[in-house]
Amino acid sequence: MMTTDTVLPVILPDGQTVTEVEHYTDRLFLFRVTRPASMRFRSGEFVMIGLLDDPHPETGKRKPLLRAYSIASPAWDDTLQFYSIKVDNGPLTSKLQHIKVGDQLILKQKSVGTLVHDALTRAKRLWFFSTGTGIAPFASLLREPETYERFNQVVLTHTCRDLADLKFGEELIEETKADILVGDEARHKLFYYPTTTRETSAKMGRITTALEDGSLFKSLNITDFNAANDRAMVCGSMGLNTDMKRILENYGLCEGSNADPADYVIEKAFVG
C-alpha cells in the first residue's frame, strides 16, 4: 500500500534505466543503459543523452541537459554502452558521473554520425585513430561484423595521457578477440597501437608524430600506406581532428561523408 511518505522513482521523458556503471579512473567511466525496443542505429553513430538540470530557482522547472555521446556498443547488442569523461565543473558530466544502477537517464533515439561504413569506400586496411574517450565509436565498430567483411586489416590506435586511461581499450581488444561473432576474424585482422603522452609506457608520443615520422608503420611492418590501400576514421580532440586531416590529406586520402563516401572521416560532433 502506498503511503504519503513513499518516494516514487522519477520517470523521465525518453527515460532509459542504467544497468551497469564502471569507473576506470577519476576522469573516466563507462555505463550501460537499456535499449528501446524500437531503436535502430548504425555501429559508430552517436545519440543525445542526458539528465534533468537543477530546478529553476523561480519556476522550479527542470530542463533536459543533453550532450552528444557515441554509442560504444555494436548495433546488434541489446543494451547501449557509453564511455565518458568526468569533468567536475562540466554541466552534464559533473552529475552523470554519480549515476548508479537503477537510475534513469534521458536518451533521444535518433542516431547520426559520420564514423560509419557507409561513408567509406572499400580498401585493404581500415584505421581507427582515437584519443581519450574518442575510442567509444570504435568500440562499437570493432565488434561489428561488417568491419571484418569489408577490410583485411583493422588497426586501432589509442593515445591517452596515462597508462590507466588505456585500460578500457585493452579490455575491449581482449573481449573483441574472444567474441563469439567477430573473434575469429579479429584474431587475424585486428592490430592495436596504444600510446601515452605523459606517463612512461612501451610506446610514447602523440599518434600524429608516429604517423609523420613513420614509426607507426615501421612497428606494424607497413610500407604501403596510401589512398588505394587505406581508409581511416578519426575521433578525439579538436587538435587531433585538425592535425589528422592535414596528415591524411598529405598521404592523398580524401574526406568522405554519408552522401559521398571516400577515404577518411572525422567525427566533428565529438566532445571529449
Q: Is 201 in the site for ligand A2P (CB under 6 A)?
A: no
- Strand boundaries in 53-124, DSSP class E: 64-70, 79-85, 104-112
> What residue is closest to ligand A2P based on CB?
239
Binding mask 158-177 for ligand A2P (x = CB under 6 A): -xxx----------------
Please pick, from the candidates 186, 208, 232, 234, the single residue that binds ligand A2P as defined by CB under 6 A. 208
Backbone angles phi and psi of 167, in degrees to 5: -60, -45
How many residues of this chain interact with ligand A2P, rule: CB under 6 A? 15
Nearest to 69 by CA among 13, 19, 136, 130: 136
Nearest to 220 by CA among 194, 200, 198: 194
Of 87 and 112, CB closest to ligand A2P: 87
Least distance in Å: CB of 137 to ligand A2P? 15
Longest dimension (CA), the chain: 72
Q: Which stretch binds ligand A2P (CB under 6 A): 44-52, 203-211, 251-259, 261-269?
A: 203-211
Q: Which stretch binds ligand A2P (CB under 6 A): 120-128, 166-174, 206-214, 216-224?
A: 206-214
Residue 110: Cβ within 10 Å count: 9
Least distance in Å: CB of 85 to ligand A2P? 8
- H/E run at residue 96: helix 93-96
Q: Which stretch binds ligand A2P (CB under 6 A): 108-116, 183-191, 218-226, 233-241?
A: 233-241
Return d(Cα 201, Cα 162) in angstroms, integer.
8
Cell of 155: 588497426
Q: Is 131 in the site for ligand A2P (CB under 6 A)?
A: yes
Q: Is 130 in the site for ligand A2P (CB under 6 A)?
A: no
* Positions in 34-63 near ligand A2P (CB under 6 A): none
Of 20 and 199, CB closest to ligand A2P: 199
Please pick, from the candidates 197, 212, 247, 255, the single residue that binds ligand A2P as defined by CB under 6 A. 197
Q: Is 237 in the site for ligand A2P (CB under 6 A)?
A: yes
Nearest to 120 by CA among 250, 214, 261, 272: 261
Return d(Cα 43, Cα 173) in angstroms, integer.
17
Q: Which stretch binds ligand A2P (CB under 6 A): 45-53, 103-111, 200-208, 257-265?
A: 200-208
- H/E run at residue 246: helix 238-250
Q: Is 266 in the site for ligand A2P (CB under 6 A)?
A: no
Residue 29: Cβ within 10 Å count: 21
Residue that is written with C-alpha cell 567474441 in the block: 179
Return d(Cα 47, Cα 74) in angstroms, integer.
13
Q: Enumerate binding residues for ligand A2P (CB under 6 A).
A: 131-132, 159-161, 197-198, 206-208, 236-237, 239-240, 243
